[in-house]
Structure 1
């Protein structure tokens, strides 16, 4: 069965972050503390996966690790349930400036999975929140920027080696958009809301 998924990062005033916090923070924390998710995270941290272009020739052990990683990085159940209509529309309506948003939508693929596989477990561990989901005040966003730049900042040689399996994106890549929006939030003195979810 097909599916469409999205990853959204939007900049907001702290008052909006505070309004979103009761439900959003609880959903993120429930997904983060799920025992199965923690086991999958630990397994990926111990043994990064081979290049995705070789997955069709993988061993049974590698195949099991790939499935575990895919389960880890697809939308978590609690955040996914939270993002049902009209919640996400409400979040997006609170930030009408497209330059202060990053949205990546794909059929039969997960943007966070592609990004995490591209950057690897050490860099992914530098990102706040859980598997693409986070809710940060302006101060928290500013404090996190150096780690996010370390995780997502690529030199020319590194960038040439990074490959994601997503179809070409109409606006910007998962390798570019998150850091752009993070820097824009810090410059504007805003917080951030990151949500990974199924559209259908």
Structure 2
């Protein structure tokens, strides 16, 4: 059965962060505290995956360790059950919704990076394309975070290091980003840094979430 996923990074004023923080931060902490979470992360840090074009052709014949490394990476980069609640519903007593309260509150494309993918996760392609060393420079957990304006400014230098490439590095990253983009669609290699810089310039916070939407 197929899925449709979305990874969004949106900018917000302090007043809205005060509304979002008590809802999202506990979910983020719970996601990171899952017993398997650090294990999957540590494995990817130790054992980056090869060219994605080899995964389905060679991994079916590969040894058990290689197959388990791929499965672990897929678990790491899939939408987590805790964060998913920000989209599916927090509780019967709280009708806050990622769709209506976060995404529909964005005033224009300059305030959000959004990648919607069918049968795939944008975060998965992004992480594989940039590799574990660069991914380790990003705040939050696996594309999910909530940052105040001060934290956006504090983290921008590390995000710049993670997502700034030489021409050769850029070509290598693009080669490992398997997502297909429409004309003028922002890629996972461009959108996150663009929105980080925008938030820092506008003195706004950032909310990042990776979820399944259907």
TM-score where L is the length of structure 1 = 0.96
Q: Which runs of 5+ in 1 are unaligned?
A: none
**1:153 maps to 2:164:** yes
Deviation of 1:95 (Å): 2.0
Matched ranges for 1:44-193 at <5 A: 44-55=44-55, 56-58=57-59, 59-60=62-63, 61-84=65-88, 87-89=97-99, 90-162=101-173, 163-169=176-182, 171-193=185-207
Q: State the alpha-carbon separation in 2 of the partners of residues 128 and 18 from structure 1.
A: 19
Q: Which runs of 5+ in 2 are unaligned?
A: 90-95
Stretches of 4+ moved more than 3 A in 1? none
Check the 8 A contact 1:12/1:94 in 2, yes or no: no
Deviation of 1:166 (Å): 1.2
Matched ranges for 1:2-41 at <5 A: 2-41=2-41
Q: State the alpha-carbon separation in 2 of the partners of residues 167 and 107 from structure 1.
A: 10
Provide closer, same or farther for how the CA distance between residues 79 and 169 of structure 1 changes in structure 2, counting only shifts above 3 A. Answer: farther
Deviation of 1:81 (Å): 1.8
TM-score where L is the length of structure 2 = 0.90
CA RMSD of aligned residues (A): 1.2
How far does the alpha carbon of each residue in 1:22-59 deviate from its partner, in whole angstroms, 9 at most, with x for none? 01001011101111111111111111111111112121
Q: Which secondary structure does the structure 1 equivalent of 2:88 belong to?
A: coil
Which deviates the most, 57-66 or 78-87? 78-87
Check the 8 A contact 1:137/1:192 in 2, yes or no: yes
Deviation of 1:84 (Å): 2.0
Give the aligned partner of residue 199 of structure 1: 213
Q: Which secondary structure does the structure 2 equivalent of 1:2 belong to?
A: coil
Q: State the alpha-carbon separation in 2 of the partners of residues 156 and 44 from structure 1.
A: 25
Q: Which secondary structure does the structure 1 equivalent of 2:115 belong to?
A: strand
Q: State the alpha-carbon separation in 1 of the partners of residues 213 and 146 from structure 2.
A: 20
Check the 8 A contact 1:104/1:169 in 2, yes or no: no
Deviation of 1:169 (Å): 4.2
